[in-house]
Amino acid sequence: MSDLAFELTGTGRDWLIDRPVHIAIYVALAVAVRFLLHRMIDRMTKPRAKRDNARVPTPALLKPLREKAQDSMRDSTLRERRRQRAGTIGSVLKSTVSFAVLIWLILQTLAILGINVAPFIASAGIVGVALGFGAQNLVRDFLSGLFMMFEDQYGVGDIIDIGEAVGTVETVGLRVTTVRDKFGTLWYCRNGEISRVGNYSQGYAIALLMLPISYTSDVDLACTVALAAANAAVEEDELSPHILEAPEMLGVDDVSSDAVTLRLTVKVRPNTQWSVQRELHRRILKAFDDEGISAPYPTGRPFGAAVSDAAR
């Protein structure tokens, strides 16, 4: 009966049964492979239970990659940094898997149908070149963001300088990075347009103090007093957790028409240099007042004025 139906309709078993079954098998296989690979990627992007006394668990996907986050970063910020980085890399991997599986399925289907795929491949190449040329800025943003993610050039919570914007990174995506500056403005920066990045939050920072004094002051005494005040300050509980190395007095940095400027530096943990600078400036100013080292004001300034003004 089935053979008679095939003869009457002018079709064969190959087209009505065999080929559709083969296509259905390939579709089911593609769906299963895509599901399993996506499930595996999802498991790799989610942090496991804490191990080895780690403050914040690291997703398995990020373990082979180098992380440059500072140890002093808050747990909530570090967790969000890792979540965004793992999620973005995971989305790229899932998109790549889906695209590869879809291309494989299309090629297998065309082969089953007996269609020559060479013209389609040539056409796809031409279309790809046209789309790449038209969307080259988008492609550049995407590739730049991808390399930034893998290299961990910066992440959520880092303070960076990217030229037009200087501030704290709030989100990092494949196309756009958002930075909140000190005035509260949120900057949307396309990754492809970021030509250089200065990261204040990696490794260590230097608290730099420029200390102007008058010509009539004893330079050697001023250097000794400033260094002693800085050493005393960094030993206290307020500053000691931020200090990596003892303060260093570099001596006279500049001689201008109205002042002699001393330079003092302290190696500190990332993102703490500004608070350390403010506190050391306050301590050294008080020490200068106590020792009679005057500031380079044309009309002079009575000793202790800064301290008394602050007390008011």
| Residue 57 phi, psi (nearest 5) | -65, 145
Structural domains for the chain: 2-115 (no CATH), 205-311 (3.30.70.100)
**What integer pLDDT is reported at residue 33 of this predicted model?**
93
**What integer pLDDT is reported at residue 99 of this predicted model?**
87
Element (H, E) at 227: helix 219-234
**What integer pLDDT is reported at residue 141 of this predicted model?**
84
- Cα first-last separation, the chain: 107
∠175-179-185 over CA atoms, to 5°? 125
Which residues sit opposite 254 in a β-bridge?
261
In a 13 Å sphere around the CA of 55, the CA atoms on its Cβ side amount to 12
Among residues 42, 41, 44, the alpha carbon closest in space to that of 57 is found at 44
169: left (phi over 0), alpha (psi -120 to 50) or beta: beta
Identify the sign of the CA torsion 285, 287, 290, 296: negative
Instruction: Note down pLDDT in tens along the chain; length 312 residues.
Output: 555 444 544 455 666 677 888 889 999 999 999 999 998 888 887 766 555 445 455 565 555 555 555 555 555 666 666 777 777 777 778 888 898 999 889 888 888 888 777 776 777 677 677 666 666 788 788 888 888 877 878 888 888 998 888 999 888 888 888 999 989 999 999 988 888 888 888 888 899 999 999 888 889 999 999 999 999 999 988 888 899 999 999 989 988 878 899 999 999 988 888 999 999 999 999 999 998 888 886 544 444 444 444 444
**What integer pLDDT is reported at residue 144 of this predicted model?**
87
Other Cβ atoms closer than 10 A to 185: 10
